[in-house]
Amino acid sequence: MEYSVKSGNPEKQRIGCVVIPVYASRKLSISAKIIDKASNGYISNLIRRGEIEGDLGNTLLLHNVENTLCDRVLLIGCGREKDITVNTFYKINHTMVKTLQSTGATEIASYLTEITVKRKDINWKIKHSIEAIDEELYKFNQLKSKKEETRRPLRKFIFSVNGRGQLMQGELAVRHGMATSAGIHLAKDLGNLPGNICTPTYLAAQAKKLSKQHSKIKTSVLEESDMKKLGMGSLLSVSIGSRQPAKLITMEYMAGDKKQAPIVFVGKGVTFDSGGISLKPGGGMDEMKYDMCGAASVIGVMNAIAEMQLAINVVGIVPTVENMPDGLASRPGDIVTSMSGQTIEILNTDAEGRLILCDALTYAEKFNPDVVIDIATLTGACVVALGAHPAGLLSNHNPLANDLLSAGQASGDRCWQLPLWDDYQDQLKSNFADMANIGGKGAGTITAACFLSRFTKKYHWAHLDIAGVAWKSGTHKGATGRPVGLLAQYVLDRLDSEK
């Protein structure tokens, strides 16, 4: 898709379709008033006749409107003008794309950028229009023998800005929007691939591919023999039951000041999670290919950062394994030694994500990080607590947590903070090791984070539990690409705060 920005009145756009917002109670937007005046009251006459009310989701496609140069004008209902939120803005853009796909228009001038979204500027609206458009257009059909093809696919969007003074910032917003969208798209593709294709070896190959595409990304991969030398007994206890060897992937993007401590992202990469000896129920087990969506989001956001060419230092670490039952697989009751030297009693082999993350979090110390953020489809308890809307957030550093909450609000990829109190640590007590890998029935998301917190005492750290947001089930089954948008926004906010 080609995206650009342009200033100019809607009636003068020589293009396939101009998209114009209309508000509830039949209220015309600025661009609608301009078209109405040029067409001698055509729009207002249609509204008076009740052709469109302006409610959210309403659409009306007009052809050959008098005194306009475009082939079509698409009116989009936006609801009450004062009530438009981040989520509403996404829905309006989704409605636009769904409608346009059946019109035959391929080149579009969007005036939805004039919509007022609380505390959001034109640059935000351009960036997030691109993300919303690409989200609606996304299809995963790589593995189908017959590809679905659109007769006349959309190929170009031009976003309206108010005057030439906004063009430069608008072009930057386009670049950021396209980069973030590409990162989300990559994370979706990786998440949607089945476990027989997307193995730890495949993920490592995709990370290496990034370093070929972007000169500023340096990718390295540790093999099981390397991890054994480092003492990563916890991580290796998960991969031992699989014929797929574990990998520890590191992607370094060092485009900032050499003295700047890096942001480190750590993504859980369990490419298929059978539960191991603590075998999962068969129903819905196919969705356990999504247990590597934390890894996918780290690869996606590293791609986005490189595409944006940001002057910042970021490291992505992906511990990746397959969790399978086998004669060699870990048993409930086994005790392993982590890279940190702490011992862990494995009471449930299906609580494997924290076992690979803890060694990766210890490994992160070597980069002397400014902050470390891990991203993981870690607990079903998070889905019970928060559903499918926000990711769970826990942190040992309140300023970092606040920054992530703010980035979530700005990006529309929200998270919600849960407590990380010492009171919960007692649930991880073991009679035979330094800790158990589960903490009982209560507060499963919190006790999982408490486990990880024991390996993050040397730096500021946050944990994002994305079990409820990384993919959708049912009719619309598929990876969402979250939280690439949140992470990209966090990095952009960090750069802004340092100016």
Catalytic residues: 280, 354
Calpha distance 283→277 (Å, rounded): 17
Are 248 and 356 within 8 A, CB to CB? no
The tokens for 110 are 């969007």
Query: DSSP secondary-structure letter at 272?
Result: E
The tokens for 306 are 């490189």
- From the list 289, 288, 201, 188, the residue with the least C-alpha distance to 249 is 201
Calpha distance 319→356 (Å, rounded): 6
Calpha distance 40→347 (Å, rounded): 75
CA 229 and chain centroid, separation: 34
Calpha distance 242→328 (Å, rounded): 9
φ, ψ of residue 144 to 5 degrees: the values are -90, 140
- From the list 242, 465, 231, the residue with the least C-alpha distance to 359 is 231
* Coil vs helix vs strand at 110: strand
Are 318 and 306 within 8 A, CB to CB? no
Strands 460-465 and 391-395, by their bridges, are antiparallel
Name residue, tokens 């919509």. Answer: 115
Q: Count CB-CB contacts under 10 A for residue 480.
A: 24
DSSP string for 191-219: HHS-TTTS-HHHHHHHHHHHHHH-TTEEE
Name the H helices within 18-164. Answer: 30-38, 42-48, 86-100, 122-137
Are 192 and 140 within 8 A, CB to CB? yes
Widest distance between CA atoms in the chain: 83
**For the chain, what's the residue count?**
499
Taking CA atoms, 230 is separated from 143, 226, 241, 362, in Å, by: 38, 6, 20, 10
Give, for 313, the enclosing helix (H) or strand (E).
strand 313-323
